Copies of this chain bind each other. A is one copy, B any other.
Amino acid sequence: MSKKKNNYTPLSSIGEFGLISRIKSNFDLKNKSSILGIGDDAAVIDNKNETVVSTDMLVENIHFNLMYVPLKHLGYKSVVVNLSDIFAMNAKPEQITVSLSVSNRFTLEAVDELYSGIKIACEKYKVDLVGGDTTSSEKGLIISLTAIGSSEKNRLVYRSGAKKNDLVAVTGNLGAAYMGLQILEREKEVFKVNPQSQPNLDKYTYCIQRQLKPEARYDIFQFFKKNKITPTSMIDVSDGLSSEILHLSEQSKVGIHIYEDKIPIDNETIKICKEFKLNEITAALNGGEDYEILFTIDQSDYDLVEKSELVTIIGHVTKIENGNKLITGLEQAIDLTAQGWSKI
Q: Give me the interface of A with B, judged by CB distance under 8 Å.
A: 11-12, 15-17, 19, 35-36, 39-47, 50-63, 85-86, 88-89, 91, 95, 97, 99-101, 130-140, 142, 144, 146-149, 153, 156, 158-160, 234-236, 251, 338, 342-344
Contacts and interface: CB of A to CB of B under 8 A. Distances in A.
A43 B39 contact: no
Given A99-B144, A138-B140, A133 B56 contact: yes
Each complex incorporates copies of this chain amounting to 2
A50 B95 CA distance: 14
Contacts of A42: 52-54, 85-86, 88-89, 91, 147, 149
A59 B99 contact: no
Given A17-B342, A40-B159, A44-B50, 12 more contacts: A40-B160, A41-B89, A43-B53, A45-B51, A45-B52, A53-B97, A55-B97, A56-B99, A58-B135, A62-B136, A62-B137, A133-B144
A95 B45 contact: no
A243 to B, nearest CB: 9
A251 B39 contact: yes
Contact of A146 (B17, B19, B146, B342): B146
Contacts of A85: 41-42
20 contacts: A11-B344, A15-B342, A16-B342, A16-B343, A35-B50, A40-B158, A40-B251, A41-B159, A42-B54, A42-B147, A44-B89, A45-B52, A53-B130, A55-B97, A56-B133, A57-B99, A57-B100, A63-B135, A135-B343, A136-B344
